[in-house]
Structure 1
């Protein structure tokens, strides 16, 4: 979850974000079309353009698997336009797609919510159904409400995600019964506005909690390699760290570095590996979102809008499979995850 799902980020957080392999046909405990309630599309096939974070990102690829599966079941096609985390490249892709009239539906995971606003407005004016997916489009990262008139949102509010990660870390500290409890926070990418908003929300929770000390705040990224490097840097300065928060991919790397340390991990992500780590007790908790199911839901909303059917304009990612976002061992007991890192 850029990440942050990485959660959950990423992002995530973001939610839920990394280089990884995904089996699009494998949906875990939830089917990609399970949230779809509409009748099959009529009047000719519709075309969905998915403007995802990156094709090399497991979260985005899992999202697209859900979009594509729902599209095929509803007389539509789907295409992944890869910006590879480049905000300006994504803006250009959106502009080109509007000009070429390539799609009736856009599903957009914005790398920079503010940068894409003009292109999104152009798409709405052109009659394209635009679903803002996972991260907000606009300057605010504390609301799920559409910030561009005419769009539909299906987002995980970054500040809510960050607060959730912070609360899970506080719970982890309480479980260790330490005072003080030393916490390290692995920010995703400092260049991403959504990561900055998520980080600040998490940090605010930690700093407001008596007995919790934020000992390290460092860019952890969305790969195992970046997580390993961040963990090495943290341990050099604070070898007694008790809890680490970060994207699930980064946590995998951190865990490999700190094998002999008694550290509790809070992950922002929703992969099968993340869920298993929580269920086995290796990690304390994860901010969980059903990523593939959310892709299917985004396709459902966009296609219904393109067909003139009424759709809710504001949709929260955490309400698609409620009760699991704060993914402790108990909350994820019956979950397997919907994609692989």
Structure 2
């Protein structure tokens, strides 16, 4: 879906943007800005990433509506830089709310625990913080989660592929899975769930499983490998970027594509019938929701400990032509 790049759970887009470093102080207690307004620190994957930028736009929108402010801390996909930014922000006493998109969900745990101890309302957004990829529940006590469960994401991709096979009455149906990055535990959890789902349908045959990555170039290369092995492949699953590359390689072939991503370009491809379906999340809306949850908790209101992103998505993320009718997408690739 969203693009990932180097670093254990990093999201992909290969531009560089500068880091923003907060002020530091001697003690760790949350603070509002002058006039009593709450301050939100947003720790995104990278400012240059379109998915992250759309998330922050939602955070800012909600902050303005509530009379709060929001600041983007940009680690540029560097997990350790993100850990340092969170630690510094805790020490600075400048923020009452953190919204965290973890580049490495395990690495940030000690810093997140410190933020909770300091009384900061911490919202874990999109990627789980912790080492489990099969649950949306908080893995650090005191945090709020608004995440996309990787195992559920993989199962949904597999289900969409099975539906694509059945839509064409294909038996056997040859499916190729362009998995993300084999080095990433999150990607492996997603891949395993997708493959297990495919195996439950006897008419579906996993014809190829190759690393597709999160760029069009990596998708093109992966598709070239797939077509050499299985020129008659029927369905291809992969990140939205990899699928765009695969489509360019396989022009003219009657392949049904399943994309993991919900940009405007992806939504349009599904609506036009070029791609069969996509795993769709309303990214900007989910950024606003994360800010809402954090601000509510900071103000002493009761909030749910866990919300899965698909609860707020059309078709619970199953983005077929029917469920995406009237949807435009909330970011550009």
TM score, norm. by length of structure 2: 0.88
Taking only aligned residues, the RMSD between alpha carbons, in angstroms, comes to 2.2
**Partner in structure 2 of residue 263 of structure 1:** 255
**Partner in structure 2 of residue 180 of structure 1:** 172
Q: CA deviation at 1:323?
A: 2.4
SS at match of 1:297: helix
SS at match of 2:259: strand
1:56-67 alignment runs, 5 A limit: 56-67=48-59
**Partner in structure 2 of residue 2 of structure 1:** 2
1:45 aligns with 2:46: no
Q: CA deviation at 1:333?
A: 1.1
Does the 8 Å contact 1:16/1:270 carry over to 2? no
Q: CA deviation at 1:17?
A: 5.0
1:236 aligns with 2:231: no
1:230-309 alignment runs, 5 A limit: 230-309=222-301
Cα distance change of structure 1 residues 18 and 184 upon mapping to structure 2, 3 Å threshold: farther
- Unaligned runs of 5+ residues in structure 2 are 16-32
1:93 aligns with 2:81: no
Cα distance change of structure 1 residues 44 and 76 upon mapping to structure 2, 3 Å threshold: same
Does the 8 Å contact 2:157/2:237 carry over to 1? yes
1:126 aligns with 2:118: yes
SS at match of 2:315: coil
Q: CA deviation at 1:69?
A: 1.3
Does the 8 Å contact 2:87/2:111 carry over to 1? yes
Q: CA deviation at 1:82?
A: 1.9
Q: CA deviation at 1:45?
A: 2.0
**Partner in structure 1 of residue 161 of structure 2:** 169
**2: CA distance, partners of 1:89 / 1:200:** 30
SS at match of 1:2: coil
**Partner in structure 2 of residue 77 of structure 1:** 69
Cα distance change of structure 1 residues 78 and 190 upon mapping to structure 2, 3 Å threshold: farther
**2: CA distance, partners of 1:316 / 1:262:** 34
Q: CA deviation at 1:15?
A: 11
Indicate which of 183, 188, 191 corresponds to 1:199: 191
**2: CA distance, partners of 1:62 / 1:252:** 20
Which region of structure 1 is more displaced relative to structure 2, 286-295 or 226-235? 226-235
1:99-110 alignment runs, 5 A limit: 99-110=91-102
Q: CA deviation at 1:43?
A: 5.8
**Partner in structure 1 of residue 140 of structure 2:** 148
Does the 8 Å contact 1:17/1:60 carry over to 2? no
Q: What is the CA deviation profile of residues 179-222 of structure 1, one whole-angstrom value per residue up to 9, with x for unaligned ones? A: 22111112222233221111110011112220211122222222
Q: CA deviation at 1:238?
A: 2.0
1:201-220 alignment runs, 5 A limit: 201-220=193-212
Q: CA deviation at 1:101?
A: 2.7
**Partner in structure 1 of residue 46 of structure 2:** 54
**2: CA distance, partners of 1:280 / 1:42:** 50
**Partner in structure 2 of residue 37 of structure 1:** none
Cα distance change of structure 1 residues 288 and 19 upon mapping to structure 2, 3 Å threshold: farther
Q: What is the CA deviation profile of residues 16-59 of structure 1, one whole-angstrom value per residue up to 9, with x for unaligned ones? A: 95459xxxxxxxxxxxxxxxxxxxx9961222111112222221
Cα distance change of structure 1 residues 226 and 268 upon mapping to structure 2, 3 Å threshold: same
Q: What is the CA deviation profile of residues 258-307 of structure 1, one whole-angstrom value per residue up to 9, with x for unaligned ones? A: 11221110011111111110011100001111110000000011111111
Greater RCO structure (CA 8 Å; 6+ sep): 1
Equivalenced residues, count? 313
- Unaligned runs of 5+ residues in structure 1 are 4-8, 21-40
1:329 aligns with 2:317: no
Of structures 1 and 2, the larger Rg is shown by 2
